[in-house]
């Protein structure tokens, strides 16, 4: 990660290389939505939005006056639909999610545990609009990728056990932070990649969870799109 690049951009650029041409993918609200900006030129996805469509395109140029967008994603942001896209009711959308029809879901995280548990929908005592489709996406997608910063105000977020209410148990496939990439197999956590200039010792110091260092540990490579 360079001084000119934010942690969120670095994470999104790395995750962009995880997705394959032709995948049907849901990008969660917040950091995950950035992933679409950094997809390699030869990777074309069908992006799904849980409020009822596939084939999300870029923000339209002719957005109506503020407060009156014609088409919005699950986060309420204006979007367009690409040729071949489709709209449908929310029950059909959730059937796609729950039925295993999404190749991947990229979700933000508040905490991830070493066994692949994810907490990302609420902090007790704080008002939240609801869990939305996070639980359905986390269970239904063939691959669950979590995008989050490694710590928050110095507090560790990758833990032995989540302390916040869980979104899903033992389902995280891949976790990407600005320091490292971890993969989860058989309820265990493996450090597969380190960010440039970041040592394994630094990662251990910022991580409560136990993890195994891969025999094939390598340095993270990120998408160069837009650089």
**Active-site annotation holder among 9, 18, 50, 192:** 50
Q: Three-class SS of residue 135?
A: helix
Enumerate long-range contacts of 5-13, CB under 8 Å, 24 or more apart: 7/149, 7/177, 7/178, 8/34, 8/149, 9/34, 9/38, 10/178, 10/195, 10/222, 11/147, 11/148, 11/149, 11/176, 11/177, 11/178, 12/37, 12/38, 12/147, 13/38, 13/222, 13/223, 13/225
Known catalytic residue: 50? Answer: yes
User: Which residues have a catalytic role annotated?
Assistant: 50
């Amino acid at each position: 990660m360079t001084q000119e690049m934010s942690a969120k951009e670095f994470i999104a650029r790395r995750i962009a290389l995880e997705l394959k041409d032709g995948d049907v993918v849901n990008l969660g609200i917040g950091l995950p939505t950035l992933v679409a900006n950094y997809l390699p030129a030869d990777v074309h996805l069908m992006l799904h939005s849980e409020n009822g469509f596939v084939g999300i395109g870029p923000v339209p140029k002719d957005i109506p006056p503020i407060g009156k967008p014609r088409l919005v994603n699950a986060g309420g942001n204006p979007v367009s639909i690409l040729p071949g896209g489709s709209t449908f009711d929310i029950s059909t959308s959730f059937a796609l999610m729950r039925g295993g029809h999404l190749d991947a879901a990229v979700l933000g995280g508040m905490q991830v545990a070493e066994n692949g548990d994810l907490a990302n929908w609420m902090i007790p005592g704080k008002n939240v609009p609801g869990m939305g489709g996070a639980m359905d996406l986390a269970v239904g997608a063939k691959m669950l990728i979590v995008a989050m910063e490694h710590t928050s105000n110095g507090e560790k977020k990758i833990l032995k056990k989540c302390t916040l209410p869980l979104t899903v148990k033992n389902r995280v496939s891949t976790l990407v932070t600005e320091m490292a990439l971890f993969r989860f197999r058989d309820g265990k956590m493996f450090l597969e990649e380190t960010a440039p200039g970041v040592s394994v010792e630094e990662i251990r110091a910022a991580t409560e969870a136990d993890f195994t260092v891969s025999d094939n540990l390598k340095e993270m490579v990120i998408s160069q799109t837009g650089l």
